[in-house]
Amino acid sequence: MTKISIPIGPQHPLLKEPLSMKVDISGERVLGGSLRLGYVHRGIERLAQKRNYVQNVHLIERICGICSHIHTTTYCHGVESLLKVEVPMRAYYLRALMCELERIHSHLLWLGILAKHVGLDTIFMHVWHDRELALDIMEEITGGRVLHGANQIGGVRFELDEAQVAMIRAGVEKLHTQVEGVLDVIENEPALIARTRGVAPVSADMIKKYCVVGPIARASGVDVDMRRDNPIPPYDQMEFSVVTLPDGDALARTLVRVYETRESILLCERILRDIPDGPVSTRVPRKVPAGEVIVRSEAPRGELFYYLRSDGTDKPARLKIRTPTLAALCLLPEQMSAIQVADIPVVLAGVDLCVACADR
Amino acid sequence: MDQTNIESLCHKLKSQLDCTFDLYTEIRNDDTFVISPDQLKVVVAMINEHFNGIHLSTITAQQREANAEVIEVMYSFFQGVGFSLMISLPTKAPEVTSIVSIIPGADFYEREVAEMFGVKFTGRRETPPLLLPDDWDQAPPFIRNEVNND
């Protein structure tokens, strides 16, 4: 049968962000594909060299509209490591609270997109309704739903009063109930299971070869999570489960993310229970001593890597950012081989693309 | 993997390859070893074999202000703890063997370094640009030279 190349993107209803793919098909069979990034490449690493450390907190927050907080958390932790300042433990807990809320909203956003792609609009609408709860909490405590401006070098820029803590507890409790309901539907919905079970399975060996991280790796049985393996405080003091599943197919990638959402809700409850009293920030000098640091953290999509070098001035000499989506995209052409054309949306959704993150 | 394992790996590499394997102590968190570019591929292959598949976090390149004649390329791995390999390439003709045949996940990282720093990775297929426009005709954006030196 004749081989045909179909372009998908950079503007396409299937894609939420610009990305160009060429998919080779023969009949209904996909033979492979290739990728082109760069449509939202803003040169952020280069821009960061022209701004001071404080300005860069706000620049880096704009890398991504979904996981903006984990970017600033990782960056601030790197700068604080070079400064050798002691950040108040309360600030670490507040950062972690935002990180987990971000993970919840990111996973629910993704689940809604998957449901939409497989034609389950009811799940899509329910899940995005539930996601609003997480966004509402973040808006209440930081003032921002997408860009939070929560972090500063030396701590955080917000404090919680008793009324806010009560509001977060009530919101998280409601989220817990809603997510349990969603999980019940997903585990038992025949249409969703039929569209995802056995689709584009990825073995643990392939995950290792392609250096894939995060929920995709965990859905293939690779037990890796930077919150546990290379923790930034307060994760080194917290107990939580790292969810893994053995199958590596689209259903496993779905379930892993929903189980992780539940685990993040439990973590939010633990953070609110254990958060210590004290200041939320400490004063830091504007100039950072010469030195280099590598920081790894767990973003909603997996390992986030920052390398930072200071030459002793108030601007970084080099900032390198590797986002988890870039690692996952490397595997995508392989995943695209030997699937049906109708499964392309499911496979794409399974990657949980964040093109803005990958492009930087 | 813990610190002891890194030390045993270093010992193994030194004894089997007879290569320079100097500790670079400036980077916090990751142990970083400076190696010769021509030994990169064989060292990566041995590390990969040692761990039965190693996780490459990323490849970072930079050109330091103090020594613009050199582009440093750093391969950062994670296997329970983070560690990195660092090589230095001449800015005038930066070229090193690709490790994609050993770690396919290095593909996008190599392409990014190639575009942003002009490093040529040999022994791999030619690919179109990953991030920069197809008609980009200026110097690599991260290279400090008369065009970009601002």
ipTM of the complex: 0.87
The chain A residue lying nearest B105, using CA atoms, is A210
List the structure tokens of B48.
Answer: 């990969």
At A284-299, the pLDDT tens digits run 999 999 999 999 999 9
At A196-234, the pLDDT tens digits run 888 888 899 999 999 999 999 999 999 999 999 989 989
Contacts of A340 (CB under 8 A, 6+ apart): A28, A29, A30
At A102-161, the pLDDT tens digits run 999 999 998 898 888 888 888 889 899 999 999 999 998 998 888 888 999 999 999 888
Alpha-helix residue ranges (DSSP H) falling in chain A: 44-48, 53-61, 68-83, 89-117, 121-142, 162-188, 190-196, 204-209, 214-218, 226-229, 250-274, 324-336, 344-351, 355-359
Q: Which whole number is the average pLDDT over A174-193?
A: 87
Q: Where in chain A is the domain with CATH 1.10.645.10?
A: 43-200+230-242+250-351
List the structure tokens of A268.
Answer: 């939010």
Name the residue among B29, B56, B108 with its Cβ closest to that of A329: B108
pTM of the predicted model, to two decimals?
0.90
Element of type H or E holding A59:
helix A53-61
The SS3 of residue B26 is: coil
Q: Which of B111, B130, B147 to mutate to test the interface with A (most CBs of A within 10 A)?
A: B130
CB contact under 8 Å between A296 and B64, yes or no, is no
State the architecture of B3-91 in CATH terms: 2-Layer Sandwich (3.30)
- All structural domains of chain B with their residue ranges: 3-91
Which positions in chain B touch A36 (Cβ < 8 Å)?
128-130
CB contact under 8 Å between A293 and B27, yes or no, is yes
- Please state which CATH number belongs to domain A43-200+230-242+250-351: 1.10.645.10
List the structure tokens of A133.
Answer: 């709860």
- Which DSSP string corresponds to B84-107? EEEEEEESSS-EEE--TTT-GGGH
At A8-66, the pLDDT tens digits run 878 887 777 888 888 888 888 888 888 888 898 998 999 999 999 999 999 999 998 88
Per-residue pLDDT at B4: 61
C-alpha–C-alpha distance, residues A244 and A260, integer Å: 9
**Residue A1 clears pLDDT 80, i.e. is over it:** no
CB contact under 8 Å between B65 and A291, yes or no, is no
C-alpha–C-alpha distance, residues A146 and A7, integer Å: 31
CA distance, residue A93 to nearest chain B CA (Å): 22
CB contact under 8 Å between B57 and A212, yes or no, is no
